[in-house]
Chain A
């Protein structure tokens, strides 16, 4: 290009019925490129006859985005169904109508959003930073901006514009500072970054496996937790001594009472419905067992009695064994 010449821009206002097309041609005749000319109007104008048909590519982008959207729909409704196979209502895991409906929506979503974003990019790109917004065009004028012209061309251009009926011609500095020194994009980016901080408000801790209020009694300790004491480390006696009998009673009431009854005589509320009567824990046969043997029965079950291995921790079973052993053989077995 040329040496650092003084380059200027001109902005001319025209009445709405001005013949812009012919003045455009004349400007081109005077050596001004089409790219240097911008026509500003308050409403969309019919395309000049010289212009070719509008390009197909915006439609292509929309169609492409729609196809990607179909892919997203397929991924979510079919892909995840395969990964998380939930059998419900007799429908196949991957159901074609469902995939169709979801893909339809995601297709539309992607097509609309991508078209919109493309339009934003095009509008921002088409923005000519050396042309200030000419507010008067909204009163129905047309504005023709010719920019980046040599100062020796300026007089010619002015003359052409005046002959075309321009009402007001003003020069615009070619290297005008950017319209907005702080573009809204910065503000948006900052806001988006601030929004990221919201992630800090995550309440994942409340999802942990600790016991929550109103939660049903837990039968298993969370997987991976380490027992703090077991029967290999602490003696039965020491354990029995420092456990509160209240706890043992409570465990007995929850786990044993339904069959063995409140007093342990085998007369619990469920007992009449059982094929085989529950043992009387106060009978001499039971009294003869050591607490370890009782522990094993609780752990593995016996005859009709189920195993409590999954229901109670080693600790709890041991407390119960001690409790059963401590029952006094005072009354004769009850016969329902």
Chain B
């Protein structure tokens, strides 16, 4: 156990030159993104390439993508904890941190898209002199409610197993962080009543958060599915969104596992077995997603409804064919070709690259969900095309850098592997042998 403490608290030590350089580099990109946003606020939404009939585009696609990535933590940690999978232990914290950071980034995209973002509070129902009341029949209100619930619940879910680790950090790490750890550890001593309270809370909240997770991305799917736009109006959209979200989330976890393991030399904790299990899970998700996608497109193709066919044609062989087939290669073909080989799943770098491929593919996929249907409305007189403007691209890059920056900073504050759960697993492993 002293070894576990030493190894897993080591990442909290102040970073070296490389770390500082990375933080400065990321901050620069974040500042560029912030500058672009200020510019967009100053000069108006005309800085984006939004135009009739395309009123939802890069920002909303990014919102959907980031909410999707946030499913990594909840799925890995929630579902695996529920099923008492032992191999979850070193992965949960890495994934839960991703969840909370990507929910923050996703929320930011809503604000970029709002245009007059300082009026965001119009969404909150409270008696006001404006005589404005949000219409709860709009899926966007469901979305706001669900994302708020999800953000709150996943913050709590990240925090719960952190309490004993914060107590450990409080006792072992001095400096400016000590009072913060002390406050966050809630006076944790490790008495049996405290353990019981904590475990009961985790046991109650875990199934709840899995149910919230499924509802959140379903509702994000409803944002599209409830409209009559050809290409969006399909009943399969909710499960398709949820599975797609988990797909990109698992990819992101593979990247995180690889980077954390390599940077902090945690090979004894994040073992090849973990990559192997994750790879198997990714195969299941790839197949499920492919199955849902095929069912959806087959229905459209067989139905031959002209409005829907216009969208399908533009995607399969028209304007959007290149991104479409890139996407299919990245998220279906490559993962299936590689992850089904057992030896490949034991190759961390390869797993990371597949995670990267899935995430690039899923970003393109989110764009393809939005833009082809919007650019082919039922009346063909204003069919159109879209590519993000430099302002949109800068904001997207800045947000991505912000996600990485927050993660890099969080690693210095939060033990990246749940220390007490690792100890518990160690003990279980010893008993079962």
A88 pairs with B135, CB closer than 8 A: yes
Chain A CB within 10 A, most for which of B1, B142, B156, B204: B204
A64-B65 Cα distance, complex, nearest whole Å: 35
B192 touches A45 (CB 8 A): yes
Complex Cα gap A84–B133 (Å)? 7
Give the distance to chain A from B77, nearest Cβ to Cβ, in Å: 15
In chain B, what residue has the closest Cβ to A137? B190
Q: Are B149 and A135 in contact (CB under 8 A)?
A: no
Chain A 123-154 per-residue mask, 1 if CB under 8 angstroms from chain B, else 0: 11111100101110111100100000000000
Query: Within the assembled complex, what's the spacing in Å between the Cα atoms of A123 and B164?
Result: 11
Interchain CB contact under 8 A, B423 and A42: yes
Within 8 Å CB of A120, what residues of B? 186
What size tier do the contact residues of chain A reach?
35 or more
Most central of B149, B156, B189, B193 by chain A CB within 10 Å:
B189
Q: Which residue of A lies closest to B129 (CB)?
A: A207
Does B259 reach chain A (CB closer than 8 Å)? no
Among A41, A76, A112, A133, contact of B125 (Cβ-Cβ < 8 Å): A76
Q: Which residues of B contact A309 (CB under 8 A)?
A: none
Contacting pair B189 A138 (CB below 8 A) = no
Asked if A241 lies at the interface with its beta carbon under 8 angstroms from chain B, I say: no
Contact with A along B399-433 (1 / 0, CB 8 A): 00000000000000000000010011001000000
Contact residue among B152, B219, B427 (Cβ-Cβ distance under 8 Å from A112): B152
Return the chain A residue nearest B165 by Cβ.
Answer: A138
Name the one of A80, A91, A126 contacting B133, with C-beta atoms under 8 angstroms.
A80
Interface residue A275 (Cβ < 8 Å from any Cβ of B): no
B209 within 8 A of A: yes
Q: Is B172 an interface residue (CB 8 A)?
A: yes
In the bound complex, residues from chain A placing their C-beta under 8 Å from that of B199 are 44
Q: Which residues of A contact B423 (CB under 8 A)?
A: 42-43, 140
- The minimal Cβ–Cβ distance linking A206 to chain B, given in whole angstroms, is 11
Chain A residue at minimal CB-CB distance from B422:
A43
Instruction: Tell whether, in the assembled complex, residue A105 and residue B156 are in contact, meaning their CB atoms are under 8 Å apart.
Output: no
Please report which residues of chain B, range 126-140, place their CB below 8 angstroms from some CB of chain A when the two chains form the complex: 129-130, 133, 135-137
Which residues 29-66 of A have a CB within 8 angstroms of B?
38-45, 47, 54, 58-59, 62
Please, which residues of chain B bring their CB within 8 A of the CB of A45? 192, 195
Give complex CA distance A109, B211 in Å: 11
A227 within 8 A of B: no
Instruction: Select which of A40, A112, A118 is within 8 A of B190 by beta carbon.
Output: A40
Q: Mark A87-104, 1 if CB is under 8 A from B, else 0.
A: 011010001001001101
A106 beta carbon closer than 8 Å to chain B: yes
Inter-chain CA distance A124–B185, complex, in Å, is 10
Give min CB distance, A324 to chain B, whole Å.
Answer: 39
Is the beta-carbon distance between A86 and B135 smaller than 8 angstroms? Answer: yes
A279 at the interface (CB under 8 A from B): no
In the bound assembly, the distance between CA atoms of A313 and B205 in angstroms comes to 63
A38 to B194, CA, bound (A): 11
Residue of A nearest to B9 (CB): A138
Main secondary structure on chain B at its contact with chain A? helix
Known: A41-B195, A179-B187. A113 touches B182 (CB 8 A): no
Interface residue from B146, B182, B192, B198 paired with A105 (Cβ < 8 Å) = B146
A187 on the interface (CB 8 Å rule)?
yes
The yes or no answer to B305 lying at the interface (CB within 8 A) is no
Residue of B nearest to A99 (CB): B136
Q: Does A184 contact B (CB under 8 A)?
A: yes
- Whether A116 contacts B205 in the complex (CB less than 8 A), given A105-B146, A140-B2, comes out as yes
- Is B1 within 8 A of A41, CB to CB? no
Q: A115 contacts the other chain (Cβ, under 8 Å)?
A: yes
The proximity string for A residues 155-189 relative to B, scoring 1 for CB distances below 8 Å and 0 otherwise, is 00000000000000000000000011000100110
With A59-B204, A113-B156, A139-B2 given, is the CB distance from A180 to B193 under 8 Å?
no
Q: How far is the CA of A80 from the CA of B164 in the complex (A)?
A: 43
Contacting residues, chain A, for B183 (C-beta < 8 A) = 184, 187-188
B1-A39 in contact (CB<8A): no
Contact A95 B1 (CB under 8 A): no
Q: Which A residues, 286 to 301, have Cβ-Cβ distances below 8 Å to chain B?
A: none
B317 within 8 Å of A by Cβ? no
Partner of B149, one of A62, A95, A106, A122: A106
Give chain B residues whose Cβ lies under 8 Å from the Cβ of A128: 189, 191
Which of chain B's residues have a CB closer than 8 A to the CB of A267?
A: none
The 3 closest A-B pairs by CB, nearest first: A140-B1, A184-B183, A126-B193
Q: A109-B152, A133-B167 are in contact. List 18 more A-B contacts (CB 8 A).
A: A44-B199, A58-B204, A80-B136, A86-B135, A88-B137, A89-B137, A102-B136, A112-B208, A113-B152, A116-B160, A122-B193, A123-B194, A126-B191, A128-B189, A133-B188, A137-B190, A139-B1, A204-B129
For this complex, 23 residue pairs linking A to B, each with C-beta atoms less than 8 Å apart, are: A38-B191, A39-B192, A41-B195, A45-B195, A80-B125, A86-B135, A88-B137, A101-B142, A102-B145, A105-B142, A109-B149, A112-B157, A119-B198, A123-B163, A123-B194, A124-B187, A128-B189, A133-B189, A134-B189, A139-B5, A143-B190, A184-B182, A207-B129
Interface residues of A (CB under 8 A from B): 38-45, 47, 54, 58-59, 62, 76-77, 80-81, 83-84, 86, 88-89, 91, 95, 98, 101-102, 104-106, 108-109, 111-113, 115-116, 118-120, 122-128, 131, 133-135, 137-140, 143, 179-180, 184, 187-188, 204, 207
